[in-house]
Amino acid sequence: MRGIVFAKRTLKEIVRDPLSYIFCVGFPIVMLIIMTIVNESIPAQAAIEIFQIQNLAPGIACFGLTFIMLFTCLQVSKDRSTAFLIRLYVSPMKPGEFVAGYTYPVILIAVLQSVITFIAAMIIGQIKGYHFEIQNILLCMVVLLPSALLFIGFGLFFATLLNEKAAPGICSIIISAACMIGGIWMDVDSIGGTLEKICKVFPFYHGVAAARFAIRGEYSKLGQPLLIILVYAVVIYLLATFVFRKKMQSDVR
Amino acid sequence: MKNAIELNQLQKKFGDKVAVKGSTFQVEEGILFSLLGVNGAGKTTTIRMLTGLSKPTSGEAYVGGYNIKTELDQVKKICNVSTQETAIAPNLTVEENLLFVAQIYGFSTTEAKKRMEEVMKQFSLDEVRKSKAKTLSGGWQRRLSIGMALITNPKILFLDEPTLGLDVLARKQLWKIISGLKGKITIVLTTHYMEEAEALSDKVAIMVDGELKACNTVDEIKAMTQKDSLEDAFIAIAEGEV
């Protein structure tokens, strides 16, 4: 119950910050529009499919989740830098309730962000003559949940270990890395070689690949990347909650 | 009179540095007890230990009859703290901040709203009830912060330098509020303002370099040091004249 009360407060703190709307809602839509325009400029002979709306939408939905990491990170590190968290440490709240209170609202925001991104993608798809299947969009949103958990885990992890100034900086590096090696803006499979191998070591590529398979209805290819991103998400999130609990205990020493 | 707080040789070390050197004293129920000392004297560390924010290195302490080492969950239910820094959720309104803390302490929505109205009245917060906490002045924020500590109906309230950084008027207003609480709950106050301690306290403890040097009523401390004011008595004790 305390976790829910704390989650409501965290949600209010996030949604009352105008930056949330810019990054969570505005940015994915703007990127969808810009990249669709970029795609228009690419000659058909180039055979680049990455910016076609059916590949772009799941990629940008995944990209949007990286900002969920930033929100988690900013909220936790901001709380840690003030006496507000001290007040709550004195209260009967348990470490698990803190973690739940930070996770629930950002999961909700992640789902809302995906809904908005796919509504925008459907509109652009209609204009460009591509029809999204509703069941594939719903499946894709479910497939994106492990990626959301992964980025929440990263946000919690860095905000727990670093201070308010350093933590968002590290998150920016993760955002850039996720874009570069996640295959959001480039076709990793067609590049091949060492870069492809490096990309596949990290979880981001698998999150994007799973989302793309889901939206295209290629269900038989979905299993492997989904399993990989799920394992990464669970490990990183559990590690983050473990570090948060340890930090909370060490703060009380 | 029953004791609300009992310390028995309570000690805190940070590495080789002894922050609190085996303090032993009692705080009777319903009184306002001031813990005085210069910076680094061990006041905040003592409060941190009593509220579960810091683990004692050795010794025992009981808050509301509960052992702070073995019954901390019970201690947390009956006490609350207003820290040196204002502890509020900046993007929540005054109402929401109060309701939030009440619900964290297990109050139902109905109970929390009832308590919120009582605290609103007690702290004259009504005119800013819909304002976001971050938009309030320092004085209002501090008032809200103390209100958030009181909404949970604590039996014991720790006020760590509650008037720090406030202007004269805001400080006097807070004094009035704190005076109004005397007799209803036990209050442990730390402050650097001697006139504040003299005006409000039933009993005063003076710490110097982590060590408890005096623990008595203001009049008895003045008599002991043969000084006319608590400030002079404090200086005499802090400088080792007594």
Residue range of the domain that includes A159? 2-252
d(CA A100, CA A241): 10
Chain-chain contact of B92 with A12 (C-beta, under 8 angstroms): yes
Among A47-56, A140-149, A162-171, A244-253, the range scoring the smallest mean pLDDT is A244-253
Q: How far apart are CA A240 and CA A225, in angstroms?
A: 22
In the prediction, which pLDDT does B169 show?
81
* Closest listed residue to residue B208, CA positions, set B39, B10, B46, B45: B39
Q: Do B105 and A91 touch (CB under 8 A)?
A: yes
Residue A249 has pLDDT above 80, yes or no: no
Q: How many CA atoms lie within 13 A of B203 on its CB side?
A: 17
Assess contact for A57 and A117: CB atoms under 8 A.
yes
Average pLDDT over residues A227-243: 95
Chain A residues near residue B79 by CB distance under 8 angstroms = 90
Nearest-5° angle of CA A196, CA A197, CA A198? 90
The length of chain A in residues reads 253
Residue A252's pLDDT band (cuts 50, 70, 90)? low
Alpha-carbon distance of A101 to A95, in angstroms, equals 10
Shortest CB distance from B76 goes to which of A9, A16, A91? A91
Residue of A nearest to B149 (CA): A87
Residue A218: strand, helix, or coil: coil
Number of A–B residue contacts, CB under 8 Å: 74
For A6, the closest of B55, B85, B104 (CB atoms) is B104
Query: pLDDT tens-digit profile of A119-177?
Result: 999 999 999 888 899 999 999 999 999 999 999 999 999 999 988 888 888 999 999 88
pLDDT, position A22: 83
CB pair distance less than 8 Å for A16 and B87:
no
Q: Give the whole-angstrom CA distance, residue B231 versus residue B242.
A: 14
Which residue in chain B is spatially nearest to A248 when comparing CA positions? B53
pLDDT per 10-residue tile (average), chain B, 242 residues:
91 91 91 92 92 92 94 93 89 96 94 94 91 92 90 93 81 86 91 89 93 92 91 90 76
Distance CA(B225)–CA(B234), nearest Å, equals 9
Residue A39's pLDDT band, with cuts at 50, 70 and 90, is: confident
Contacts of A6 in chain B (CB under 8 A): 104
A89 chain-B contacts, CB cut-off 8 A: 52-53
Q: What is the ipTM of this complex?
A: 0.86
**CB-CB under 8 Å, A83 with B83:** yes
Instruction: Determine the residue of chain B that is closest to A98 in CA distance.
Output: B104
Q: Which of A17, A92, A252 sits opposite B55 (nearest CB)?
A: A252
In Å, how far is A7's CA from the nearest CA of chain B?
Answer: 10
Q: Which of B68, B104, B164 is the best mutation test for A, with the most CBs of A within 10 A?
A: B104
- As a whole number of angstroms, the distance between CA A12 and CA B83 comes to 23
Mean pLDDT of chain A: 90
CB crowding B62-100: b at 16 or more within 10 Å, else e: bbbebebeeebebbbbbbbbbbbbbbbbbbbbbbbbbbb
Q: How many domains does chain A have?
A: 1
- Residue A17: which of B77, B91, B101 has the nearest Cβ? B91
pLDDT tens-place string over residues A179-234 = 888 888 888 888 888 888 999 999 999 999 999 999 999 999 999 999 999 999 99
Q: Which residue has the higher pLDDT, A149 or A250?
A: A149
> Measured between CA atoms, how close is A243 to chain B, in angstroms?
18
Q: A90 vs B80: CB contact, 8 Å cut-off?
A: yes
Q: Helices in chain B by DSSP H: which ranges?
A: 43-50, 72-78, 94-104, 109-122, 138-150, 168-181, 194-200, 218-225, 230-238
